[in-house]
Structure 1
């Protein structure tokens, strides 16, 4: 399944050094912790310098492209970047541009969800999903001692469906609703408007930046990055299909060592981009790959040929763990992925169908499997024993322990025949595995495939709180 396309994946500040045209090479220096618009932090951050001279399969990059007039806006943009620099870009930078470019990024200016879009996510499948995340959040709030103020933060809220179902389902718990302030980390202007509508927001006093949801009465504010969300109160953080669209670097083992996979211009208008390998290990492989492999066992590393690493995943996890360790609360991460090294999972999906990764950039979603093992390591590395990590467990087990069976039964009691059919299909898609048994049309299988074991849930909580609901023993 594809990812939610409302991620606040960081865009990077770029610097240039040297005479590009004279030297035929360039240095790309990238801040590791910049926000989506490339704003520099107050503190000087470490940088990467990547020398692309002598690239494997390197060739001349003329400043004009045959057939360029037929290319999409995003293709022209990527083509210009590569040709101006005189060499290919990393897969991570390709993902950033394709998904979050302010003018031509995939999810920046339109709604891509639902049957009429490119993919469907769990909150869009059934109201039960958001309601049960509300159960988890309320129970965690009770474990926290029912603080009078708590920041409910969602990373990449999509249309706002999950948050709307969450606060609607918990509205009967008045003390919780009064304690909650809602903070949405969202980079897409188009999706912010949809979220405002879904949450039924109205102006909150004279502050035009702050709204209030008519569903629960909670205040609602938007941010470009998690670092902008105010501190000072405990947090409940929800990250559903957020991590899978954060940009990844890809590496391949060769006779020259671990080389980085890069994106270069193609050979013809029909194939405008292609993958190439760096001639030798890059700064990214020495920094990111080395760090990830340091967390792996010798058995895991023995037969590795391909590795994906997501530096932004480590960054966000560290921020989450530090916030929780210092101010209390917890985070729930739900996504598709692996509890170990991810090898080669980058995929593109358009109109509910998988397509080649480099085809029609900007018109298809890009996502990669989440490395849950790296999330665990990043959490404890950032906050030590002050946080506890639970999971990952399958989405099927997680929702089952939250009571999805009982919720389905209650909803079916008052449902029409048509509503009952939709509820049962939604239930299957959330907890089942493979195509629903009653589906006969192969064309519908992708839209009705169960995600129960493919998706996993992981929690990072203040270690003093004990085990959060949904992650304890089922016996």
Structure 2
């Protein structure tokens, strides 16, 4: 049993079952035993790998999209370049390198990173010197905002509800015979889920993310007020349906309750909720990651880089391009939604 599991079992014994969101928050961000608080989870030695760690091309395409959006809006003389959940800082470092040749872009920008993990902040500082850190999106400056959030929303704690004949039953974390277990609350009507009664039936599971509206809303409000653009990139779909909770340890799935604090916990993103929270900023339709990257020219970039490579680097490069774009790999699994101000074009790559 992990130290955090012991703490949670004692807490549940004292105060009763907790929501899945409460469990996830503790498992991921407990100050002493939380997953993100205590380690660098990325790469071959971690538990998962993200697109920026697969190839520099991913960050280059993101950088070109944001830089073009900046130019499309008249090249504001001062703006915030931000990332939510920047991991090791690899994506932002690639964005900055790819945009170095864009006239005036670097002179106008200040880099802001939203990160709560001290371990990851240290990694980011080595790759993005001069960055300014924040604990939450609400702390970002009131200024034109050009932002990326790659695999950020999927790590936010979720609640799960199972439809019942008489309402909804919430999935809870309790204790049985000294171990953490899942259970269901008593059925009850939930006003926030009334709109899901038309497209669900008894037994269906719907997920909601309590923190998502506030985070996306803060980004959308700044873009609406001051200009800018945002790219949210994650796995998920337009509307939540089904159990998508997943625990990862050592690049393999595991029981979410088995070792809290030692496995990553994620869930698919409900992009309909992202769109609703973005107002008064405008949002694009969902586009797959593969299509988004192809629109931005990733294949031409891949060919240019390949011309200077020989095996085995060439084989790894080809595999990375395929992994990022092919429908059977990350190409269709991951989706992209752009935010932008009314009256401006959407971020390049997200156009309908």
TM surpasses 0.5: yes
Distance, in Å, in 2 between the alignment partners of 1:243 and 1:167 is: 23
**Closer/same/farther in 2, CA of residues 297 and 129 from structure 1, 3 Å limit:** farther
Q: Are 1:82 and 2:21 matched, yes or no?
A: no
CA drift of 1:180 comes to: 1.0
TM-score by length of 1: 0.72
Distance, in Å, in 2 between the alignment partners of 1:251 and 1:396 is: 32
CA drift of 1:303 comes to: 6.1
**Closer/same/farther in 2, CA of residues 360 and 297 from structure 1, 3 Å limit:** closer
- Which of 206, 213, 226 pairs up with 1:307? 206
Distance, in Å, in 2 between the alignment partners of 1:134 and 1:378 is: 24
Distance, in Å, in 2 between the alignment partners of 1:188 and 1:96 is: 13
SS of corresponding position for 1:250: strand
Q: Are 1:457 and 2:351 matched, yes or no?
A: no
Q: Deviations over 1:26-69 (max 9, x none)?
A: xxxxxxxxxxxxxxxxxxxxxxxxxxxxxxxxxxxxxxxxxxxx
Residues 342 and 370 of structure 1 are in contact (CA less than 8 Å); yes or no, is this contact kept in structure 2? no
Residues 342 and 369 of structure 1 are in contact (CA less than 8 Å); yes or no, is this contact kept in structure 2? no
Distance, in Å, in 1 between the alignment partners of 2:176 and 2:54 is: 39
Distance, in Å, in 1 between the alignment partners of 2:118 and 2:103 is: 31
Aligned partner of 1:95 in structure 2 is: 24
Q: How many residues align?
A: 352
Q: Deviations over 1:260-305 (max 9, x none)?
A: 110001224xxx1101111232xxx73xxx33543x583x235662
Distance, in Å, in 1 between the alignment partners of 2:124 and 2:9 is: 33
Aligned partner of 1:379 in structure 2 is: 278
Q: Are 1:251 and 2:161 matched, yes or no?
A: yes
Residues 98 and 361 of structure 1 are in contact (CA less than 8 Å); yes or no, is this contact kept in structure 2? yes
CA drift of 1:188 comes to: 0.2
Q: Deviations over 1:88-136 (max 9, x none)?
A: 0000000000001111100112111011110000000000000100001
Distance, in Å, in 2 between the alignment partners of 1:125 and 1:415 is: 17
Q: Are 1:224 and 2:123 matched, yes or no?
A: no
Following superposition, which runs of at least 4 residues in structure 1 exceed 6 angstroms of deviation? none
Query: What residue ranges of structure 1 are gaps of 5+ in the alignment?
Result: 1-70, 202-211, 213-219, 435-449
**Which residues in structure 2 correspond to 1:107-146 (within 5 Å)?**
107-146=36-75
Distance, in Å, in 1 between the alignment partners of 2:351 and 2:85 is: 27
Aligned partner of 1:328 in structure 2 is: 227
Residues 163 and 201 of structure 2 are in contact (CA less than 8 Å); yes or no, is this contact kept in structure 1? no
CA drift of 1:343 comes to: 2.2
Q: Are 1:178 and 2:107 matched, yes or no?
A: yes
Q: Are 1:277 and 2:202 matched, yes or no?
A: no
SS of corresponding position for 2:141: coil
SS of corresponding position for 2:231: strand
Report 1 or 2 for greater relative contact order, CA contacts < 8 Å, sequence distance ≥ 6: 2
Alignment RMSD: 1.5
Distance, in Å, in 2 between the alignment partners of 1:267 and 1:397 is: 49
Q: Deviations over 1:213-270 (max 9, x none)?
A: xxxxxxx100111111221x200111110000111111112344211110001224xx
Distance, in Å, in 2 between the alignment partners of 1:313 and 1:292 is: 16
Residues 138 and 215 of structure 2 are in contact (CA less than 8 Å); yes or no, is this contact kept in structure 1? no
SS of corresponding position for 1:320: helix
Q: Are 1:239 and 2:149 matched, yes or no?
A: yes
TM-score by length of 2: 0.96
Distance, in Å, in 2 between the alignment partners of 1:242 and 1:292 is: 24
Aligned partner of 2:316 in structure 1 is: 422
**Which residues in structure 2 correspond to 1:434-449 (within 5 Å)?**
434=328
Residues 204 and 241 of structure 2 are in contact (CA less than 8 Å); yes or no, is this contact kept in structure 1? no
Distance, in Å, in 1 between the alignment partners of 2:136 and 2:192 is: 24
Higher Cα Rg, which structure:
1
Q: Deviations over 1:313-338 (max 9, x none)?
A: 12212111111111111110000001
Aligned partner of 1:291 in structure 2 is: 192
Q: Are 1:389 and 2:290 matched, yes or no?
A: no
Aligned partner of 1:261 in structure 2 is: 171
Distance, in Å, in 1 between the alignment partners of 2:275 and 2:344 is: 18
Aligned partner of 2:325 in structure 1 is: 431
